[in-house]
Amino acid sequence: MTATTDGSSGAVDPRAASASNPTTESTIAADDVLAAARRAAERSVEHLLGRQDEQGWWKGDLATNVTMDAEDLLLRQFLGIQDPATVQAAGRFIRGEQLGDGTWATFHGGPGDLSATIEAYVALRLAGDRPDEPHMARAAGWVREQGGIAASRVFTRIWLALFGWWKWDDLPELPPELMFFPKWVPLNIYDFGCWARQTIVPLTVVSAKRPVRPAPFALDELHTDPGEPNPPRRPAPAASWDGVFQRLDRALHVYHRFAPRRLRRIAMNAAARWIIERQENDGCWGGIQPPAVYSVIALHLLGYDLDHPVMRAGLESLDRFAVWREDGARMIEACQSPVWDTCLATIALADAGVGADHPALVKAADWMLGEEITRPGDWSVRRPQLAPGGWAFEFHNDNYPDIDDTAEVVLALRRVRHPDRARIEAAIERGVRWNVGMQSRNGAWGAFDADNTSAFPNRLPFCDFGEVIDPPSADVTGHVVEMLAIEGHSAHPATRRGIEWLLTEQDAAGGWFGRWGVNYVYGTGSVVPALVAAGLSASHPSIRRAVGWLESVQNDDGGWGEDLRSYSEDKWIGHGASTASQTAWALLALLAADRRDTVAVSRGVAWLTDTQQADGSWDEPYFTGTGFPWDFSINYHLYRQVFPLTALGRYVHGDPFAGRTAVREGA
């Protein structure tokens, strides 16, 4: 029995499918595996080169869930800018994502999600679907069984409150006076992660204004008791932190009724200035869809008409998140990932043997150099003396470069033989300096900010969905440590502190938690190559434990997979249907740990070569990217191409940077 799921919430218990694979040294059919790997890598190189944009970048679709599409329709309804073609196309996509039980999941093969199902249902009502149609009746019945609208998350109920389907009084309060909190005061806006900060600032305006647009229909069918649609919430124990913040929220509701008008007006204007100052050149905010949606609503409530340049640019940017499919359906991306995809594609092609001066790699390097961010952003609130020099994830996001992208871009640029060597070296030097300067006090790295670890934001009743802070993670720290090692900084104090933190964070079983990818397979695939690059030998106890764990969770088909439920249920850790990206992550760790000539690696490589499609690509319906662990999952459509090619390339050609650092025991 393989350790896979059947695509439903009632999947086979992964513990019943534990692998029992041999892991002893073996050269059986090694020549055949190597030859197949060479052929697969050649096909993959051809496929990936064919997907490069003429400007030099790569970008795969970024699929999440239908809440993006539903909220896009709700925004258009709120602003009065619906058009039939968009509504029809969005409705077609949302209907196509509905499961057989009437629900909508947040990832492929996952269980129905209450808030996603409510938002999708409402969007289809806006698209003209009748509540008595079978697919709608199934959805409504399931919603009622789960507790109805009252049991949904805060953000869903905010959207419903905009149309009078929920009472503003029954939502947590978020006052715009937060803008006045200095950075040393708990719950100031810089205590939140950048994605949460960009969402919360505009929502303080929405919370203060409490707008209601006339609802085009009622939603009685989504309440367990239409006569009492807003039932009281169960109070938390008074002595708990949740109880403290519930009492604070009640006090803020009282304050809402008596807030001095002049003070509130000044606070909302401060929020508006903050929002406008952070609008990117393409009209978006932070390169991600949710903050852009809420920023447009907030500015509209403050009197900015739809023809104002800020609003017009914002709305135009939202249209660029739309992916139109051949069947006429319209999917909304939560974000776009060209910098991330381009640096990973560059690494993959170089490691697969494409010449360092190949025109495609030089063109990619040129594009990445043009995307370098050389001005301060919100990160400089915590690091005011640090010179800029990083890269963001998206096309336009100068306010929020991220540490992970910067590390991987440096690794990509280092692989390219560019004619302007001085320009490459200067950019790498700035990126290295910025990454080192963004190290947190504990020796590790978060994604966007340093020391973004306050415990208070997660306690707010408002924050019942996803991560709202940006603490250091093993995967980001691993990438930075790998980059620093390859740049010759293995002995740098920052690198040593990063290694020490990683060693303390290793799970007892041998893996590392994956914050931005699913999950322990991703974390382990990120950390092991970094530790080896920084000087730990394959015989180091931590490396041995990691190798042992990876080999123990290999599926019977030779691949690796890990279900998203591993974030909420330990039994899923390291278990799930084999995927191309997760198999590649495991192989990258094993290859770095000098396990190339083992049965486990041979079987993993064979799985990749056997599942490759005729055009050199791989198919991967499963979500292996993470926005918020469990709450928000991502299918990066290019992951299934770049990571398998990197793994095959290193299997065939070896790690291009192996041996550049001295091997040491027992760091």
Beta pairing partners, 285: 279
220 as an active site residue: the answer is no
Query: What tokens appear for 451 in the block?
Result: 């020391």
Between helix 474-486 and helix 493-505 the angle, nearest 10°, is: 140
Rg (C-alpha) for the chain, rounded Å, is 25
Nearest to 203 by CA among 116, 275, 254, 308: 275
Structure tokens at 361: 């790699």
Q: Which of 511, 509, 485, 520 lies closest to 499, judged by CA?
A: 485
**DSSP letter string, 67-90:** HHHHHHHHHHHHHT---HHHHHHH
Q: Are 332 and 68 in contact (CB under 8 A)?
A: yes
The DSSP annotation for 223-263 comes to SS-TTSSSPPPPPPPTTSHHHHHHHHHHHHHHHHHH--HHH
SS3 636: strand
- Give me the residue label for tokens 């991306």: 333
In 3D, which of 545, 537, 540 has the Cα closest to residue 510? 545
The count of C-alpha atoms lying within 13 angstroms of the C-alpha of 223, restricted to the half-sphere facing its C-beta, is 14
Helices 474-486 and 421-437, axial angle in degrees (round to 10): 140
- Is residue 633 within 8 A of residue 58, CB to CB? The reply is no
CB 322 within 8 A of CB 329: no
End-to-end CA distance of the chain: 39
Catalytic, out of 404, 405, 475, 557: 404
How far out from the chain centre does Cα 386 lie?
26
Structure tokens at 310: 């800020």
Measured N-to-C along each axis, helices 493-505 and 520-533 cross at an angle, to the nearest 10 degrees, of 140
Task: Measure the CA dihedral 563/564/568/569, to 10°.
Answer: 0
For the annotated catalytic residues, the residue numbers are: 404
